Amino acid sequence: MGSPADSVNRIRVATNAEPRGQFNHEQIRNGVEMIFQGLGLDVHDPRIVGTPDRVARMYDEIFAGLLVDPADVLDTTFNEGHEDIVLVRDIPFASVCEHHLIPFFGKAHVGYLPNKDGHIAGLSKIARVVDVVAKRPQLQERITTEVADVLEKKLSPRGVIVQIEAEHLCMNMRGVRKPGAITVTSSVRGLMRSDPRTRAEVMSLIHGGRL
């Protein structure tokens, strides 16, 4: 079993931010043991006896976003006077569906039009926002909305677009059992929505077109 300091460090590394608290590993371990017992497994079996602790330590990483405000990631902006679209495309992410606790994963495209003062964020920070928002029990639709909310809150842009494409293992392994099916969600705001030319430009950039 790791120490509380080890737990905080795993969360810090996973998010590149200072966590606000830590998870209760004892409760997580007890919960995993109860699941095993519900499945009729012997929790003292040498093959699984260490699993509850491994799951607790894993949750430090895959749910680290619960302990970090994604807006804190965009704590620094730059006044560059940039007026045109900024787009970070094909940001890989992984999350866990809150309905079944099964992973889903894919890529996000995040773009914005800077405000009239030309404030921009570091490109790595945009990817980090996606990562922090995804590291929670989540829904794809909510990730899409929350990333857009963070950009609006911290950058006050003239327009925002967030598009996410993901494959859900809860659709692959159970239910309809359709491996390879991709779910696409988007949040489009400001000039990205109201100005057809701007929207067409950013969609062309997202899908690899050359202007």
Out of 82, 119, 167, 170, pick the active-site residue. Answer: 170
> Is residue 183 a contact partner of residue 140, using CB atoms and an 8 Å limit?
yes
Task: Single out the residue of 94, 177, 174, 106 nearest to residue 137, CA to CA.
Answer: 94
Out of 37, 99, 141, 207, pick the active-site residue. Answer: 99
Out of 61, 80, 83, 98, pick the active-site residue. Answer: 98
CA distance 48 to 54: 10
| Catalytic-residue membership of 18 | no
| Catalytic-residue membership of 98 | yes
Out of 33, 97, 146, 201, pick the active-site residue. Answer: 97
Contacts of 105 (CB under 8 A, 6+ apart): 92, 93, 94, 95, 166, 167
What does DSSP assign to residue 67? G
Query: For tokens 């999350």, what's the residue?
Result: 95
Out of 100, 152, 165, 167, pick the active-site residue. Answer: 100
| Catalytic-residue membership of 201 | no
| Catalytic-residue membership of 140 | yes
Per-position DSSP letters for 129-194, written without gaps between them: HHHHHHSSEE-HHHHHHHHHHHHHHHH--SEEEEEEEEEEHHHHSSTT--TT--EEEEEEEEHHHH
| Catalytic-residue membership of 146 | no
CA distance 190 to 66: 28
| Catalytic-residue membership of 100 | yes
| Catalytic-residue membership of 97 | yes
Out of 140, 146, 163, 201, pick the active-site residue. Answer: 140
Query: Which amino acids are annotated catalytic?
Result: 97-100, 140, 168, 170
